């Protein structure tokens, strides 16, 4: 038997197996640490058992039998109980380890339930074993061999117990034990003290399912029963009938009801008390190391619900006779001889194989007849509905009759179960919990090797609580494991199959990883890479390649964001048709995508000017299902306003009725927005635009309503979200009306929102011109021209007729400022660009010719006229300017000058020059140079009367100017010199014209006026040419002096002459 130290080591090793504590903690359970058993047995029980055995031994041989403690100290001849149990063959007739008469029988297994931790397992020498029938040399050290000899003598009838047996009190003998001696080979002679019963012997075929309930008290009862029946008739198993052990109708006297005296000598007359008293005096704690209760009452009575011990099953179920039927106890000698031999290592049953001493085979428990005779076994508590069998189902119980192989299978199955289930099974079988049918079902379940889950389900029904079985739990004995390791199934299961499982799992994992990686990692990433490559091609202008990349990427993975990016990229590249196609794809894939519909409609309205299409998109995709969608309504208003503005820019002037209808629709939509959403930024922004557009169309001044909108924005500039276009348009509107309030702030806010907006820089230039800051005006114009150029290059559709007109205006204004700065080459290039832009617009019928754009031609003519002196080219530019409805008195004068001057035009054209001079003086008061040019042209044509009239007007204008000067100083002041010189020319030319008239009319008065004019011209010349210091006259003479000399002294070699030169510019003074 193991020592306490061995049990402690075993328990420590068992707790470390399989990391049970951690696994139970994960399941929410706690490992149960059973306390160590109390060493020894109770004194009363030991004395009772010792006295009973001594009484039997004294009756047989007058030798004092050993006490149970001494008996347990002796080493069994055949090894421990585990070795004995391994050699049992319960399905054979010689399975019971009893020998024939005169041979030793190993009864050490009967004490399996006792706590032998305090008894030493040292072997007893062979020479210390007393001979058959002899007394032990030491009564305190009685070996099992001596006990076997005593029992053999007791069964053979050699001992004379008649004297003591006659003194025993009358104890009713349990039925069914009449012929036990013959069956067990106890001898042919028995004491005549007891007569055999008249009842027929029962058949011993009971079920030994309650062997686990065998307790040490049962051993005492068996000893007393043997002492009481040794004097009876032949007692053999052949006469034993299980029916005799059936539960009697009446109360069966307890053979141990008499108390035993406290003496070493058995006294039948003494009062020993009841076994219940002995049990009450025994220790409360169980005395085996697993706290394993063998069940059954100590005194043979049925256990009550109060003491917690289940009653033994009826002996009707015992299958004992069949096991003894073949040879009876004749094979006991062979069994004992086999026990003397060392058992094979594989068959040894030890505590190291997780098999406890507390295990008993259900159906083979040793019971006393009193157990079956005691009525009143408490019924089990009512099972829950889930565990209760269905009504009408009669349980079919298979009798428990186990062979040795079945016992081994039972042991293996139990050892394969997890600890919590194993403890529950042991508790159920040992403590007789559940019905006999449930216990039998559990035993056969163990024999059949059913799964732990099936066993746990059955045990759960009995205990009415769930017994958890860890997933995949498996346990085998070491011997079975070693035996199984060499099998092909083991190799396949533990070597090949795990490898295949690993390979399959790895392959499946790799396959799943590859599948998931390809479909959810590679494909999206690769598609994103291809999308980005296509977008790079889009930005580079390779639109077919970009579309090809997009389609490839779309086959791998669909990214909605890339759809939007491509659409926006096409819009930025002015590829509006491609962008519209992309928006269509979005709406087809995601029909409820309202943002795509808004972007699409915004592009159609603001970029492509397909306002009807924009309205259709908004109505079909948004407003049809959500009429009051805020963004859609705002975009609808903007679409109507842009539509009306575009119609105004039509080449033919647009349909005025349609424009009015569009403005009215915009107003109604604004009212709907105001009603549903209140006063918001989007509403006020569009309201301001509506006021400006309505004024431009109808001419009604809406300045007083536009100013509050500008004021609202500036008051909420940090929160309002007006667009830069709106702010620039409101600023330009205020500048047009001469308003200086709010303009600078509005322009600054617009610049912060979009500095590439051309209208912003155009309005800024107008603002600086209004406040007379030319340098800043020129900078703003430079920015405007740059942004317009970029817009024309990148967005042909974005260059609306209105924007194109502003672009040309900005270039013309900038050319003027560059010319003033002397940058003639830049001026010419800019003007040529403006003319080209204008001609493209006319060619595209974007707007009609206008005088403000013909100014570019005029400026080019001025450049060639003034700077280059290339009069024919200048005349052509002037002519084109006039063709575009631009001409001024200055351009007319210059054109007349070119026609007048033979050097400038190559051929004189006095009539055309006269027409231009005449038209130049219609719009305003003619300058002195224009009068001179007109007079000379008339004189050259022979219109002397008209010529002398113009000369007269010129003479009067100059004399009036000189009269206003207190002291003219022509030699000191240039303006005075210019006046005097022009007066001298006018007097001379007027005199020549009057002289021609006098000649034609023969009027001497005209001749005299002519001579006076010549003399005045000579006098003004003298004042201009005289030296102001010496006052000496100049040697030179002017035409006035010469003409007067010709009149006084006619000569055929000369003729009257005039000053034919006219100034190249009519601006006076130059």
Q: Residue 1069 burial (CB < 10 Å; 0-12/13-18/19+)?
A: middle
Residue 386 lies in a domain: no
pLDDT in tens, 728-752: 999 999 999 999 999 999 999 999 9
Write down the pLDDT at residue 322: 41
Claim to verify: residue 227 and residue 279 sit in the same structural domain: yes
Please indicate, yes or no, whether residues 362 and 450 belong to a single structural domain of this protein. Answer: no
Residue 651: pLDDT band with limits 50, 70, 90: confident
Which of these, 279, 284, 272, lies nearest to 296 by C-alpha position? 279
Q: Average pLDDT in the 880-905 region? A: 88
Tell me whether residue 473 is in a domain. yes
Cα–Cα distance measured from residue 101 to residue 99, given in angstroms and rounded to the nearest whole number: 7
- Structure tokens, 650: 């039509």
* Integer Cα distance of 991 and 1002 in angstroms: 15
Minimum mean pLDDT range among 343-352, 534-543, 663-672: 343-352
Q: Given a cut of 50, is residue 299 above it in pLDDT?
A: no
Q: Are residues 313 and 420 in the same domain?
A: no
State the Cα–Cα distance between residues 548 and 613, nearest whole angstrom: 28
If phi > 0 it is left, if psi is from -120 to 50 it is alpha, else beta; for residue 62 that is left
Q: What is the CATH number of the domain that holds 1040?
A: 1.25.40
Residue that the structure tokens 């004021």 belong to:
711
When the pLDDT of each residue in the chain is averaged and rounded to a whole number, the result is: 73
SS (H, E, C) 263-287: CCCCCCCCCCCCHHHHHHHCCCCCC
Does residue 557 fall inside a structural domain?
Answer: yes
Contact 225/264 with Cβ under 8 angstroms? no
Asked if 723 and 753 touch (Cβ cutoff 8 Å), the reply is: yes
Q: Please, what is the Cα angle at 118 between 208 and 348, to 5 degrees?
A: 50
Q: 219 or 430, which is more confident?
A: 430
* Residue of 958 and 21 predicted with greater confidence: 958
Q: Do 558 and 470 share a structural domain? A: no
The Cα 1015–Cα 424 span in angstroms is 156
Query: What pLDDT is attached to residue 400?
Result: 85
Q: Looking at per-residue confidence, does 586 or 292 come out higher?
A: 586
Residue 744 belongs to some domain of the structure: no
Of 591, 610, 635, which residue sits at a domain end?
A: 591
Q: How far apart (Å, rounded) are the C-alpha atoms in residues 141 and 120?
A: 11
243: which DSSP letter? G
Find, among 892, 862, 888, 889, the residue nearest to 877 by Cα: 862
- Residues 218, 289, single domain; the answer is yes
Domain boundary among 370, 393, 427: 370
Does 637 reside within a domain? Answer: no
Secondary structure, 3-state, 808-858: HHHHHHHHHHHHHCCCHHHHHHHHHHHHHHHHHHHHCCCCCCCHHHHHHHH
More confident residue, 85 or 795: 795
**Contact present, 224 and 197 (Cβ < 8 Å):** no
Same domain, 324 and 445: no
Helix, strand, or coil (residue 194): coil
Q: Which of 173, 183, 175 is nearest to 201 (CA)?
A: 175
pLDDT higher at 117 or 726: 726
pTM: 0.53
Helix crossing, 1004-1025 with 974-1001: angle to 10°?
160
Average confidence (pLDDT) over 650-664 = 89
Q: What is the percent of the chain where pLDDT is above 90?
A: 35
Token output for 176: 């069914």
In a domain, 635, yes or no: no
| pLDDT band for position 217 (cuts 50, 70, 90) | very low
Q: Is the pLDDT of residue 60 over 60?
A: no
Instruction: Report the pLDDT value the prediction gives residue 770, as an integer from 0 to 100.
Output: 94
Residue 951: per-residue pLDDT? 94
Residue 218: predicted pLDDT: 45
Tell whether the model's pLDDT for residue 379 goes beyond 60: no
Residues 498-506 have a mean pLDDT of 86
Q: How many other C-beta atoms can be found within 10 angstroms of the C-beta atom of residue 875?
A: 19
Cα–Cα distances (Å) from 610 to 648, 987, 1001, in that order, read 15, 70, 76
- Between these two residues, 480 and 995, which has the higher pLDDT value? 995
Q: In terms of domains, do 328 and 456 share one?
A: no
* Whether residue 315 is found in the same domain as residue 421: no
Phi then psi dihedrals of residue 230, to 5 deg: -65, -25
**Closest to 773 in 3D by CA, of 731, 817, 728, 815:** 817
Q: Same structural domain for residues 467 and 357?
A: no
DSSP state letter for 49 = H
Give ∠ CA 17-22-26 in degrees, rounded to 5. 135
> Distance between CA 873 and CA 828 in Å, rounded?
13
SS3 132: coil
Does 348 lie in the same domain as 202?
yes
Mean pLDDT over 625-632 rounds to 89
Sequence-distant (6+) residues with CB within 8 A of 472 are none
* 410 and 366 belong to one structural domain: no
Per-residue pLDDT for 897 more than 80? Answer: yes
Domain membership of residue 268 (yes or no) is yes
Average pLDDT over every residue of 124-145:
42
How many angstroms separate the CA atoms of 813 and 782, rounded? 10
Lowest-pLDDT range, 145-149, 499-503, 824-828, 986-990?
145-149
**Which of 458, 483, 508 is a domain's end point?**
483
On whether residue 889 sits in a domain, the answer given is no
The yes-or-no verdict on residue 202 having pLDDT over 50 is no
What tokens were used for 647? 């119609």
Judge whether residue 12 has pLDDT over 60.
yes
With a cut of 60, say whether residue 514 has pLDDT above it: yes
What is the structure's pLDDT at 1033?
A: 76
Does the pLDDT value for residue 635 go beyond 50?
yes
> Six-digit token pair at 794?
């990148």
Are residues 238 and 182 in contact, defined by beta-carbon separation less than 8 angstroms?
A: yes
Checking if the pLDDT of 654 tops 50, the result is yes
Query: Average pLDDT for residues 770-778, to the nearest whole number?
Result: 94
Structural domain range at position 538: 526-591
CB atoms within 10 A of CB 919: 17
Burial bucket for residue 581 (CB in 10 Å: 0-12, 13-18, 19+): middle
Domain count, the chain: 4
Provide the 8-state DSSP code for 623. Answer: I
pLDDT digits (tens, 9 = 90+) for 565-599: 999 999 888 888 999 999 999 999 999 899 999 99
Per-residue pLDDT band at 757 (split at 50, 70, 90): very high
**Residue 975 backbone dihedrals phi, psi, to 5 degrees:** -65, -35
Asked if residue 365 and residue 428 are part of one domain, the reply reads no
């Amino acid at each position: 038997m193991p020592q306490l130290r061995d049990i402690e080591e075993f328990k420590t090793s068992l707790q470390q197996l399989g990391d049970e504590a951690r696994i139970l903690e994960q399941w929410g359970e706690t490992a149960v640490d059973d306390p160590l058993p109390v060493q020894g047995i109770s004194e009363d029980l030991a004395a009772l058992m010792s006295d009973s055995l001594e009484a039997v031994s004294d009756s047989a041989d007058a030798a004092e039998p050993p006490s149970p403690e001494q008996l347990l100290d002796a080493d069994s001849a055949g090894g421990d109980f585990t070795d004995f149990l391994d050699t049992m063959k319960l399905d054979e007739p010689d399975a019971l380890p009893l020998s024939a008469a005169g041979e030793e029988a190993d009864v050490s297994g009967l004490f399996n339930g006792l706590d032998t931790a305090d008894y030493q397992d040292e072997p007893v020498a062979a020479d210390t074993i007393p001979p058959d029938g002899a007394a032990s040399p030491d009564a305190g050290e009685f070996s099992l061999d001596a006990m076997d000899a005593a029992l053999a003598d007791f069964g053979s009838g050699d001992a004379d117990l008649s004297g003591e047996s006659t003194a025993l009190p009358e104890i009713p003998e349990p039925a069914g034990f009449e012929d036990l001696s013959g069956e067990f080979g106890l001898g042919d002679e028995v004491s005549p003290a007891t007569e055999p019963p008249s009842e027929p012997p029962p058949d011993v075929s009971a079920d030994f399912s309650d062997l686990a309930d065998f307790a040490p008290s049962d051993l005492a009862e068996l000893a007393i029963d043997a002492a009481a029946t040794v004097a009876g008739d032949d007692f053999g198993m052949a006469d034993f009938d299980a029916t005799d052990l059936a539960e009697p109708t009446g109360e069966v006297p307890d053979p141990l009801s008499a108390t035993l005296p406290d003496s070493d000598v058995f006294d039948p007359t003494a009062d020993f008390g009841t076994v219940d008293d002995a049990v009450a005096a025994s220790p409360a704690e169980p005395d085996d190391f697993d706290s394993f209760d063998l069940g059954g009452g100590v005194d043979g009575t049925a256990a009550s619900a109060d003491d917690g011990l289940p009653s033994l099953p009826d002996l009707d179920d015992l299958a004992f006779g069949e096991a003894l039927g073949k040879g009876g106890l004749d094979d006991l000698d062979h069994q004992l001889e086999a026990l003397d031999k060392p058992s094979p290592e594989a068959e040894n049953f030890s505590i190291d194989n997780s098999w406890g001493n507390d295990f008993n085979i259900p159906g083979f428990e040793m019971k006393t007849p009193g157990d079956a005779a005691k009525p009143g076994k408490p019924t089990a508590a009512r099972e829950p509905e889930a565990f209760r069998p269905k009504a009408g189902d009669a349980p079919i119980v298979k009798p428990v009759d186990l062979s040795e192989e079945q016992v081994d299978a039972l042991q293996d199955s139990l050892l394969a179960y997890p600890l919590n289930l194993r403890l529950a099974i042991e508790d159920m079988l040992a403590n007789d919990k559940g019905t006999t049918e449930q216990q039998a079902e559990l035993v056969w379940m163990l024999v059949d090797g059913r799964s732990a889950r099936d066993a746990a389900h059955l045990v759960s029904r009995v205990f009415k609580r769930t017994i958890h079985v860890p997933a995949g739990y498996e346990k085998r004995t070491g011997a079975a494991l070693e035996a199984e390791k060499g099998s092909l199934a083991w190799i396949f299961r533990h070597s090949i199959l795990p490898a295949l499982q690993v390979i399959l799992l790895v392959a499946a994992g790799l396959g799943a990883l590859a599948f998931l990686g390809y479909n959810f990692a590679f494909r999206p990433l690769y598609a994103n890479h291809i999308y980005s490559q296509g977008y790079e091609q889009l930005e580079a202008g390779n639109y077919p390649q970009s579309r090809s990349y997009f389609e490839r990427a779309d086959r791998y993975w669909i990214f909605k964001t890339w759809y939007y990016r491509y659409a926006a990229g096409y819009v930025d590249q002015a590829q509006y048709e491609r962008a519209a196609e992309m928006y269509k794809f979005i709406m087809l894939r995601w029909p409820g995508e309202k943002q795509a519909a808004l972007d699409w409609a915004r592009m159609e309205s603001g970029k492509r000017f397909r306002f009807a299409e924009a309205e259709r998109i908004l109505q079909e995709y948004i407003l049809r299902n959500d009429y009051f969608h805020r963004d859609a309504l705002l975009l609808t208003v903007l679409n109507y306003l842009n539509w009306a503005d575009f119609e105004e820019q039509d080449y033919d002037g647009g349909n005025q009725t349609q424009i009015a209808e569009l403005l009215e629709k915009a107003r109604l939509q604004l009212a709907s927005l105001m009603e549903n959403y209140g006063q918001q930024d989007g509403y006020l922004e569009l309201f301001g635009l509506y006021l400006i557009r309505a004024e431009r169309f109808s001419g009604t001044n809406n300045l007083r309503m536009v100013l509050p909108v500008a004021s609202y924005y500036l008051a909420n500039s940090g929160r309002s979200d007006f667009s830069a276009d709106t702010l620039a348009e409101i600023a330009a509107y205020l500048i047009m009306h001469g308003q200086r309030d709010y303009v600078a702030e509005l322009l600054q806010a617009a610049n912060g929102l979009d500095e590439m907006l051309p209208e912003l820089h155009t309005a800024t230039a107008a603002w600086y011109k209004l406040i007379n800051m030319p340098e800043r005006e020129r900078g703003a114009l430079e920015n405007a021209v740059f942004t317009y150029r970029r817009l024309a290059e990148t967005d042909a559709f974005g260059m609306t007729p209105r924007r194109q007109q502003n672009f040309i205006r900005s270039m013309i204004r900038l050319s003027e400022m560059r010319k003033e700065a002397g940058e003639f080459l830049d001026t010419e290039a800019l003007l040529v660009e403006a003319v080209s832009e204008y001609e493209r617009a006319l060619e595209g019928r974007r707007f009609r010719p206008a005088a403000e754009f013909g100014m570019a031609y005029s400026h080019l003519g001025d450049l060639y006229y003034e700077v280059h002196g290339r009069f024919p080219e200048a005349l052509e530019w002037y002519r084109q300017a006039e063709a575009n409805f631009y001409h001024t008195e200055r351009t007319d004068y210059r054109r007349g000058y070119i026609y007048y001057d033979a050097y400038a035009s190559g051929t004189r054209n006095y009539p055309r020059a006269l027409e231009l001079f005449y038209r130049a003086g219609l719009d305003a008061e003619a300058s002195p140079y224009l009068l001179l040019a007109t007079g000379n042209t008339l004189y050259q044509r022979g219109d002397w009367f008209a010529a002398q009239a113009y000369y007269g007007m010129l003479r009067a204008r100059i004399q009036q100017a000189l009269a206003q000067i207190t002291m003219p100083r022509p030699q000191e002041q240039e303006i005075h010199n210019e006046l005097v010189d022009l007066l001298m020319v006018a007097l001379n030319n007027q005199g020549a014209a009057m002289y021609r008239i006098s000649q034609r009319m023969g009027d001497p008065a005209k001749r005299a006026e002519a001579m006076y004019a010549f003399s005045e011209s000579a006098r003004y010349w003298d004042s201009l040419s005289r030296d102001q210091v010496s006052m000496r006259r100049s040697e030179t003479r002017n035409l006035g002096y010469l003409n007067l000399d010709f009149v006084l002294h006619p000569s055929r070699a000369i003729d009257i002459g005039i000053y034919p030169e006219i100034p190249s510019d009519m601006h006076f003074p130059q």
